């Protein structure tokens, strides 16, 4: 299984990379980066690229599966326009290049509440991306809809930090239809994604498959053994 990973410097993406490196089913990992990671491994092929010119590196996308964990915040991006450029523009371009190069599967990190008709800017951009990637017609598309991500981030986000502290208590009352809003460990999402990738090595989709992964499915996928 040849995999391309986007967003390896983020919380979830970094954990996905670690999981991919230790799995025998994964033959190689293409890693487009702005700056190389201080990591060396026989499976890993890092390539410094200008994300505004991804077409110049189309060969990187000749893989079986693309995992997209790209994501930023409006504060970090500097504006809504720049946020959309990263979360929508870069992710969609990667999906387009992958499809053109013959990738059969795309696994997308999105968010609970994503909808192209949402009045909330963040959710609307995520939803528009989902719609655009669906329209590309990948044989296998899996979209992850986590709520609050739990884990140690490199950068401090005050609102999220407060939410993380309260989440263990809040999770207990989020049951039934509300279960999908439970906070979930980034490591759980990473394990679920990599388990899903590895399962594709032995399963060929007879027709187009689109999966939406919410809290319960993410937890169950993460617990599967290869």
User: Domain total for the chain?
Assistant: 1
Residue 48, classified by CB atoms within 10 Å of its CB into exposed (0-12), middle (13-18) or buried (19+), is exposed
Residue 68 has pLDDT above 70, yes or no: yes
Active site residue 126: yes
CA quadruple 69, 158, 127, 199: dihedral sign: positive
> Quick one: average pLDDT of 99-108?
96
C-alpha to C-alpha distances, 53 to 33, 58, 97, 116, 139, nearest whole angstrom: 12, 10, 12, 26, 26
Task: Give the full edge-to-edge strand order of the sheet including 105-109.
Answer: 44-48, 28-33, 2-6, 65-68, 105-109, 140-144, 209-213
C-alpha to C-alpha distances, 59 to 55, 62, 102, nearest whole angstrom: 9, 6, 11
- Which of 90, 126, 180, 215 is catalytic? The answer is 126
Residue 158 has pLDDT above 80, yes or no: no
Q: Write down the pTM of the prediction.
A: 0.90
Whole-angstrom Cα distance, residue 176 to residue 67? 29
Cβ–Cβ under 8 Å, residues 69 and 87: no
**Nearest to 150, CA basis, from 59, 77, 219, 51:** 219
| pLDDT tens string 161-209 | 555 566 666 767 787 888 888 999 999 999 999 999 999 876 655 578 9
Whole-angstrom Cα distance, residue 85 to residue 11? 20
Active site residue 90: no
Q: Cα-Cα-Cα-Cα dihedral of 97, 126, 11, 203, to 10°?
A: -50
> Quick one: average pLDDT of 93-118?
97
- Which range of residues forms the domain containing residue 127? 2-223
| pLDDT tens string 117-146 | 999 999 999 999 999 999 999 999 999 999
Q: In degrees, to the nearest 5, what angle opens at C-alpha 219 toward C-alphas 147 and 104?
A: 90
Local confidence band at 157 (pLDDT 50, 70, 90 cut-offs): low
Q: On the CB side of 133, how many CA atoms lie within 13 Å of its CA?
A: 37
Residue 225, classified by CB atoms within 10 Å of its CB into exposed (0-12), middle (13-18) or buried (19+), is exposed
- Which of 43, 85, 122, 181 is catalytic? The answer is 122
| pLDDT tens string 29-67 | 999 999 989 999 999 999 999 999 999 999 999 999 999
Say which CATH number the domain at 109 has.
3.40.50.720
Strand intervals (E) in the chain:
2-6, 28-33, 44-48, 65-68, 105-109, 140-144, 149-150, 184-185, 209-213
């Amino acid at each position: 299984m040849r995999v391309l990973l986007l967003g390896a410097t983020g919380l979830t993406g970094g954990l996905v990379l670690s999981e991919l490196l230790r799995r025998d089913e994964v033959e190689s990992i293409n890693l487009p980066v702005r700056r190389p990671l201080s990591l060396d491994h026989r499976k890993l092929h890092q390539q410094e690229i200008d994300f505004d010119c991804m077409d110049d590196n189309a060969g990187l996308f000749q893989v079986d599966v693309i995992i997209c964990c790209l994501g930023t915040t409006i504060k970090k991006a500097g504006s809504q326009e720049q946020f959309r450029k990263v979360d929508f523009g870069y992710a969609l371009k990667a999906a387009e290049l992958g499809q053109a190069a013959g990738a059969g599967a795309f696994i997308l990190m999105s968010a609970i509440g994503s909808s192209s008709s949402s009045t909330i800017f963040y959710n609307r951009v995520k939803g528009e991306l989902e719609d655009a990637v669906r329209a590309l017609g990948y044989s296998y598309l899996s979209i992850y809809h986590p709520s609050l991500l739990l884990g140690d981030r490199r950068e401090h986000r005050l609102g999220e930090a407060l939410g993380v502290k309260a989440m263990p208590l809040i999770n207990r009352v989020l049951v039934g239809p509300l279960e999908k809003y439970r906070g979930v460990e980034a490591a759980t999402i990473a394990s679920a994604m990599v388990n899903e990738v590895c399962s594709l090595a032995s399963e060929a989709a007879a027709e187009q498959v689109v999966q939406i992964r919410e809290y319960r499915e993410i937890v169950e996928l993460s617990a599967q053994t290869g």
